[in-house]
Amino acid sequence: MPRVKLYRFTDNASRPDIIEPGKPEYEQLGGRWRTDFFQAPNPVTLEVGCGKGEYTVGLAQRHPSRNFLGLDIKGERIWRGSTRAAEMGLTNVGFVRMRAEALAAQFGPGELDEIWITFPDPRPRDRDIKRRLTSPRFLGLYEQLLVAGGLLHLKTDNEGLFEYTLETLAARLGTTVERFTRNLYAETAPEFTEAQAIQTNFESKYRAVGVPIKYVQFRLT
């Protein structure tokens, strides 16, 4: 393992804003994230597959009266997000190192107010459909963890995943799609402002070569 990566993994173990396997708090915060981790009764927003934490940190900066968590399995990635949050002096943001499939072990029913899914792996092969973060399997999981009528967002550059998501939502009873667009940055309506306000490095690169960014906002009611 490269020395820099090893250092970051070791550093993660001492950072209070990173929850990961091996720490006493891991799998013990379910239902108590507001009181025991954030120590603030504010709404909790989760970014699933946060990568380097650019979106999680950006949201935390924009909304200081809310709590934000970034989830990713890669320890080096969340180290970067944690570092950036510390440099900005943010206290309303944290990171969880785990797989999305295990969300129910980490959060209590109705504990989340909002979920962002930003540029996930599209899993294009048919055999990987169940691993798509907007598959019925994951939507059912999100519904358990969100408050009633909690809000979800998807941003993606992948047309196949976007169309799959729209079809899946249309087929699901009790789902309300509030807005969607196949070209987010061509929109001028204020309803799209929040989704336009933050751009990851990955997103900017796709925009630079003319790839339209797709976006959908919905509720699992």
Tens-digit pLDDT profile for residues 59-88: 999 999 999 999 999 999 999 999 999 999
CATH top-level class for 1-220?
A: alpha beta
Binding residues: 47, 72, 121, 157, 200-203
The average confidence (pLDDT) of the chain is: 94
Q: So where are the chain's domains?
A: 1-220
Provide the CA 84 distance to its chain's centre, in angstroms.
Answer: 17
Q: Which residue positions form the known binding site for S-adenosyl-L-methionine?
A: 47, 72, 121
User: What's the predicted TM-score (pTM) here?
Assistant: 0.95
Residue 118 has pLDDT above 90, yes or no: yes
User: Would you say how long the chain is, in residues?
Assistant: 221
Q: Which residues are catalytic?
A: 121
Residue 7 confidence class, pLDDT cut points 50, 70, 90: low
pLDDT for 3: 72
Residues forming a β-bridge with 114? 45, 151
Q: Backbone dihedral region of 69: left (phi > 0), alpha (psi from -120 to 50 degrees) or beta?
A: beta
Could you tell me the end-to-end alpha-carbon distance of the chain, in angstroms, rounded to an integer? Answer: 46
Answer yes or no: are the C-beta atoms of 45 and 115 closer than 8 Å.
yes
- Indicate the annotated binding residues for substrate: 157, 200-203
Strands of the sheet containing 93-97, edge to edge, are 18-19, 93-97, 67-72, 44-48, 112-118, 146-156, 214-220, 175-181
